[in-house]
Homo-oligomer: A and B are copies of this chain.
Amino acid sequence: MDRFECLACGPLASRDPYSPFCTGCGEPLFIAPGVRSGGKVIHEDRTLALEKFSDFLPLDSIDPRLSLGEGLTPLLRLERVGTALGLAGVYAKNEAQNPTASFKDRGTAVAVQKAVALGIRRIGTVSTGNMAASTAAYGARAGLDTFVLLKEGTSMTSLRVAGIYGPRLVAVDGDYGALFRTSLEIGKKLGITFMNSIDPYRMEGYKLTAFEIFLQLGRRAPRTVFVPLSSGGHLLGLMRGFADLEREGMISAYPTFVGIQAQGCAPLVRAFDAGLEKYEPLTDIRTIAHAIANPTPPAGNAVLRMIRERDGLLLAVSDREMLDAQRELAAAEGLFCQPESATTLAALKKLAAAGLIKERDGKDVLVLTGSGLKTPGLLESAPIEIHRVPLEGLEAGLARLF
């Protein structure tokens, strides 16, 4: 039996298996770190990411048949981006190279391993995009009956990209924040295990990104980690991953975490700037960054607490800044990510411009959460120069471009 803990209330005696929230205070639950006599070890010789880091996961065994080959994504040095900012060690962790092209797969992989181990046959999620595709894919792989609840009005492309895996697709008309909580209640009644954004097992999967960054930097922690911030689950998972490494004595300095929201939907940045312990839910959303536009982030208060405890930072960037950063990552480094992912570079540039990051000897990691192929429509606003030439005029046409 896994043990659970709440950042506010500490270890929990019991837990509702259909809820990711603390029955005491309503904050999200986490799996309490287990203890391994002799310490935890990274098994670098094993094949799957889940196997390499199994000492740190709440899984008694790992069924490779449920894997789609998630994780083990590249950490790429961004030399041109770094040089322009006067920083020597800027890196991108490219989560777009996951099976369904987003970081969500790491969390879904762990949650589905757990579900299958527990004999669960029905799973579900509430999503507008990346998590829908990820959960549908892993549900299909595991042969589970998978329910994907989407907000009425979700783009047909997102629906089709999740629908190809054959889940039950349900478009729900109503408030999205309410849908998140309602799904959990109904899941309990009907026996559907909803693995939403802050499911504790899902967050365990995100720890692996921290472990991989640690290995890829030569068993060192980076100076900073930039993560787009929506529900809070991804950021918290990464933070807990580095806390695991610290607990095992593998790192000495804990990285500075920077969580980034879109200016048009930044309830946590507002609360952080105002020094509040709890954020005010928003109702109005004005951003193209749908994947991080969460007006009622379920782990929001836990993020505020943990970012403060660890001397981290929350900040917001504009749509223009993230779209410019998206283009810069592609044109300068060959990486085409979602605008939401490019918020990380936009934030790094802000901090560098403000002189808050400047020493040349630290390593700064941008977590690129998903592929730009997920939202090609967003490119329509960007200028694109196409030179049209007839075949017989090709030589002159190309020479003119030199």
Listed in ascending order, the chain A residues whose CB lies under 8 Å from chain B are: 65, 67-69, 72-74, 76-77, 79-80, 94, 97-101, 133, 137-141, 143, 145, 147, 149, 152, 157, 159-161, 163-166, 168-175, 178-179, 182-183, 186, 189-190, 192, 326-327, 330-336, 371-374, 376, 379-380, 382, 384-392, 394-395, 397-399, 401-402
Residues of B within 8 A of A160 (CB): 376, 379-380, 382, 384
Residues of B within 8 A of A189 (CB): 395
Q: Known: A94-B69, A97-B98. Contact between A331 and B140, CB under 8 A?
A: yes
Residues of B within 8 A of A186 (CB): 394-395, 398
Q: Are A170's CB and B101's CB within 8 A?
A: no
Instruction: Give me 23 A-to-B residue pairs in the complex whose CB atoms sit less than 8 angstroms apart, sorted by A's number.
Output: A67-B76, A68-B335, A69-B74, A69-B76, A69-B94, A97-B98, A133-B336, A147-B401, A161-B372, A161-B376, A163-B385, A164-B327, A164-B330, A166-B327, A168-B387, A169-B384, A170-B397, A170-B398, A172-B394, A174-B392, A179-B391, A182-B394, A183-B394
Q: Known: A164-B331, A178-B391, A395-B189. Contact between A336 and B386, CB under 8 A?
A: no
Q: Are B100's CB and A336's CB within 8 A?
A: yes
This protein's copies in its complex: 2
Closest to A77 in B: B65
A137 and B335 CA atoms in complex are apart in Å by 7
